[in-house]
Structure 1
Amino acid sequence: MELFLTSVFNGISVGAVLLIVALGLAIVFGIMGVINLAHGELMMLGAYTTFVVQNGFKFLGDVGVEIYIIFALPLAFLVAAGVGLILEKGVIRYLYGRPLETLLATWGVSLILQQFVRSVSWAMVVGIAVFCLLFFGGFWAIKRWGKWRRIPQWMGAVMLPLSAGIAIAASVGLGQIFKLGATQPWFGAQNVDVTAPSWLRGGLPVGNFQLPYARLFIIGLTIVCVVAIYLFLLRSPWGLRIRAVTQNRSMSACLGIPTQTVDALTFALGSGLAGVAGCAISLLGSVGPNTGQNYIVDAFMVVVVGGVGKLIGTVVAALAIGTLNYCIGSGILPVILAPIPPLAEFLEFFATTSMARVMVFALIILFLQVRPAGLFPQKGRAVDA
């Protein structure tokens, strides 16, 4: 029984991480109808932000090591939200209502972000900054002080190669001046480790087993995120605008609601939650460029099983899938069901992480045959929107 309770607690903590990831995805996919395959990479950016903040606070000595997580959480949210905002304004905004194109575009963005983390260096950062300054700053200056209200198409064809050429020259020049110091990748392809503060190590003794403080912290962080999202969507003016645009975009625009601003805010909020999830998973193990790929499929399963656009469904589905996945993969169920040999042998075959995921997939497929709209399906006119 103690082993079973330990497995259930660990499963709930895994489900809590999955819930934070799925919360952001439920907002983006459930409310906006956007299939964002780069959501896992936004979580990865949150994890790497935590790693960078940890290294920065090491200069403060032992005090910095103990308090870095307090600053890493909001910074991970802001970094992921900022990247999500750029993604929405630069890519997603032009693909609303076109799910196939959105899926392909965000998949390409996910590959770009993975390679960016592997290869980012000071030379690359300088090159990107120079390109953005020349290209986007040039368009802004022409619109503000130029004679054109609408930028001619030939202007972009001229400025794009010119800005790219100058940016590449600046990046290469920086690498030649500072040699390896500027061109060496910050992170590389290998995983990086985040050390939890001392107050998150160890565990809370309950009977003959312990509840790890890190997992308790993640569960508490999940509760805070769920309550904050609930209050924001149901008690704030911008939450009211988001729900109005979700139900009827045309009528909301007629009533003066800035729908494009609502779209950008919604996407940034969902992306920021992915960054918080990345900060949480960094406390459980090492993180790398492919970290987000381990969670994105499970997060989509949570949204679909819980019911698209339903917050309570996301909570129930995340905890259920996380607990079931961990209990099957940890091999505890064959031990508990040892008095029933056929069932115990059947579950023992799935007592690995990969096979447990296969079984959970199969159970979800069977469940969706019975309830294709999920645990809490939408009702009313929102279903036909």
Structure 2
Amino acid sequence: MSLLLESIVNGLSIGSVLLIAALGLAIVFGLMGVINLAHGELMMLGAYATFVVQNAFKGFGEPWFSLYIFFAIPVAFLVAALVGLALEKGVIRFLYGRPLETLLATWGVSLILRQFVRSVNWVMIIGIGVFCLLFFGSLWALRRYSDWQRIKKWASVIMLIYSLGIGILSGFLIGKTDNEVLTRPWFSARNVDVTAPEWLRGGLPIAGFQLAYTRLLIIILTILCLLGVYWFLNRSNWGLRIRAVTQNRSMSACLGIPTEKVDALTFALGSGLAGIAGCAISFLGSVGPNTGQNYIVDTFMVVVVGGVGNLLGTILAALAIGTISYLIGSGTIALLLAPVASLQPLVGFFEFFATASMAKVMVFALIIAFLQFRPAGIFPQKGRMADA
């Protein structure tokens, strides 16, 4: 019983990791119908934001370093939310209702973000800053022109080419100075480690085993995010607007709801939650450019099994998938069945799948079998939500 209890608690903690990773995706994919393959990279940006905040607080020493996690969480949220907002305004906004194009576009964005993290340095930042200053500054100035609507399309294209050329030229000229401080990559392709504060090391004794404080923090953080999302969607004015636009976009627009702002806010919220997930998973292992790819498939599985857009289904699916994966992958099921002589064939079967990779194969097979009976997930959409 002690072994079973330990396995269930560890499985639930893994499920909490999946849940906090899938929470933002449930909003973006479930409520907006956008297949965002860059969601994993938004988690990766949140993890790197945590690493940067940690390094910044190292210079202050104790006791400030022990408190850096409370600053890293909002910073990770803001970084991922701003990137998500830029992604929605620059790419996703033009692809609503076209899932295949959205999938391909966000896959390209994920590749760009991974390469950006590998290559980013001060030269690149200066070039991007010059581009943004020229492009957005010129558009702001031209909007004051009386015939702006007539020249908007061509002026935007011309200023884009002009600003992009000046930005690239500025970065190239600065890079030729051979200044190591400016040209050295911030992160490169190597993985970096986030060190947990002293009070997060160790574990909480429970029935003969220890639950790591880092996993306990992730569970608490997941619960807080769930409560915050539930309150926002059901009790705030903007949450009401989001639910209205989700159910009937045309009628919401007729009632005066700014649907474009709702789309941007929803995508930014889902992206910010991905940043918080990245902050959480940074305590479970090293952080690298490919960190998000380790979770993107599992998060999509959670959302699909739970029912698209259903928060309760997402919770149940994440906890179930996390627990089953741990029970199979850790060999717990095989150990529990071993004393029963008549179940030896099943023991050999579960021993074969008693690794992390093979357990994922087993979970995939179980999900495929489940979707044969419940293709719309645990809680399928009904009414206007299903017809949208």
TM-score by length of 2: 0.96
CA distance in 1, matches of 2:51, 2:152: 44
1:363 aligns with 2:366: yes
One-letter amino acid of the structure 1 residue matched with residue 376 of structure 2: A
Correspondence for 1:267: 267
Q: CA deviation at 1:152?
A: 5.0
Distance 2:68 2:178 in 1: 31
Q: Distance in 1 between matches of 2:237 and 2:159?
A: 41
Q: Which residue pairs with 1:180 in the alignment?
A: 180
- Separation in 1 of the partners of 2:176 and 2:3? 58
Distance 2:214 2:103 in 1: 34
Q: 1:12 — aligned with what?
A: 12
- Distance in structure 2 (CA, Å) of the matches to 1:207 and 1:22: 30
**How much does 1:266 deviate?**
0.4
Quick one: which amino acid aligns to residue 345 of structure 1? G
Q: What corresponds to 1:349 in structure 2?
A: 352
Query: Which stretch shows the higher mean deviation, 152-161 or 37-46?
Result: 152-161
CA distance in 1: counterparts of 2:146 and 2:273, whole angstroms:
40
Q: Distance in 2 between matches of 1:187 and 1:146?
A: 46
- Displacement of 1:178 after TM fit? 5.5
Q: What secondary structure, in the 3-state scheme, does the structure 2 residue paired with 1:69 have? A: helix
Name the counterpart of 2:162.
Answer: 162
Report SS of the residue matched to 2:143.
helix
CA contact (8 A) 1:123 1:174 kept: yes
User: Does the 8 Å CA contact 1:121/1:186 hold for their aligned counterparts?
Assistant: yes
Question: Does structure 1 retain, via aligned residues, the 8 Å contact 2:193–2:286?
Answer: yes
Residue matched to 1:227? 227
Native 8 Å contact 2:327 2:333 kept in 1: yes
Which range moves more in the overlay, 16-25 or 99-108? 16-25
Worse-superposed segment, 6-15 or 44-53: 6-15
Cα deviation, 1:129-152, whole Å, max 9, x if unaligned, reads 111111222122112247533335
CA shift for structure 1 position 342: 0.7
Instruction: Determine the C-alpha separation between the residues in 2 that align with 1:8 and 1:204.
Output: 15
8 Å Cα contact 2:131-2:163 kept in structure 1: yes
**Structure 1 stretch displaced more, 215-224 or 128-137:** 128-137
Percent identity over the alignment is 71
Residues 143, 150 of structure 1: 8 Å contact kept: no
Aligned residues: 385
Query: Which SS does the other structure have where 1:60 is aligned?
Result: coil
For residues 118 and 164 of structure 2, what CA distance do their matches in structure 1 show?
A: 21
Could you tell me how far apart the structure 1 residues matched to 2:365 and 2:337 are? 21
* Counterparts of 2:374 and 2:207, CA distance in 1: 40
1:382 is aligned, of 379, 382, 385, to 385
1:1-385 counterparts in 2 under 5 A? 1-145=1-145, 147-151=147-151, 153-177=153-177, 179-338=179-338, 339=340, 340-385=343-388
Could you state the TM-score of these two structures normalised by the residue count of structure 1? 0.97
5+ residue gaps, structure 2, are: none
User: What do residues 265-308 of structure 1 show as CA deviations (whole Å, max 9, x unaligned)?
Assistant: 00000000000000000111111100111111111111110011
Alpha-carbon separation, structure 1, partners of 2:156 and 2:264: 24
Quote the offset at 1:21 in angstroms: 1.5
Distance in 1 (CA, whole Å) between partners of 2:111 and 2:20 is 22
Measured in 2, the distance between the counterparts of 1:52 and 1:146 equals 45
Give the 3 Å change call, closer, same or farther, for CA 217–157 of structure 1 in structure 2: closer
2-structure distance, mates of 1:156, 1:381: 38
Distance 1:184 1:258 in 2: 44
Is the 2:50–2:279 Cα contact (8 Å) retained in structure 1?
Answer: yes
The amino acid across from 1:116 in the alignment is: F
Rounded to whole Å, the distance in 2 between the matches of 1:10 and 1:208 is 13
> Offset at 1:169?
2.2
| CA–CA separation in structure 2 for the residues paired with 1:155 and 1:252 | 32
| Deviation of 1:205 (Å) | 1.3
Letter in 2 for 1:221: L
The amino acid of 1:312's aligned partner reads L
Question: Helix, strand or coil for the counterpart of 1:211?
Answer: strand
Q: 2:33 corresponds to which letter in structure 1?
A: G
Q: Is the 8 A contact 1:44 1:275 kept in 2?
A: yes
Call closer, same or farther: CA 1:153–1:235 in 2, change over 3 Å: closer
Residues 106 and 11 of structure 1: CA distance in aligned 2, closer, same or farther (over 3 Å): same
Any idea what the Cα deviations from partners look like across 1:238-291, whole Å, max 9, x if unmatched? Answer: 111111001100000000000001000000000000000000001111111001
Change (3 A) 1:35 1:263: same
- How many Å separate the matches in 1 of 2:255 and 2:37? 33
8 Å contact from structure 1 (residues 143, 151) kept in 2? no
Q: Which stretch of structure 1 is more off in the superposition, 292-301 or 333-342?
A: 333-342
Q: Check whether the contact 2:307–2:377 (CA below 8 A) recurs between aligned residues.
A: yes
| 8 Å Cα contact 2:248-2:384 kept in structure 1 | no
Structure 1 counterpart SS, 2:148: coil
CA deviation after TM superposition for structure 1 residue 14, in Å? 1.3
Q: How many Å separate the matches in 1 of 2:227 and 2:154?
A: 50
